[in-house]
Amino acid sequence: MEWRASHILIKDRSQAQDLLRRIKQGQNFESLARDFSTCPSKSKGGDLGWFGPGKMVPAFEEAVKRMGIGSVSDVVQTQFGFHIIKLTGRR
């Protein structure tokens, strides 16, 4: 199994929660990723491309496994910060 996902990586939990609220209110995920994410993927709207098992840190991978295509996660904490994940594909 492989997944394709985009994410917004933030250092501050409260800012991540605010961005998640804005996404749920209809703001564009990719635009928010470009404006706020601290990950280099921000230039691609947060797109991380395709990845398989063991390629992402465990908390990130576990969140992706539970998601449906097109859905957006709650805030997920890893050693890199706080992620908002959008699952864009599964194969």
Domains of the chain: 3-90 (3.10.50.40)
What single DSSP character describes residue 55? Answer: S
State the greatest distance between any 2 C-alpha atoms of the chain, in Å, as a whole number: 33
pTM above 0.95, yes or no: yes
29 phi and psi angles, rounded to 5 deg: -60, -50
d(CA 79, CA 11): 10
The string of pLDDT tens digits covering residues 7-59 is 999 999 999 999 999 999 999 999 999 999 999 999 999 999 999 999 999 99
Q: How many C-beta neighbours within 10 Å does residue 38 have? A: 12
Strand (E) or helix (H) holding 6: strand 3-10
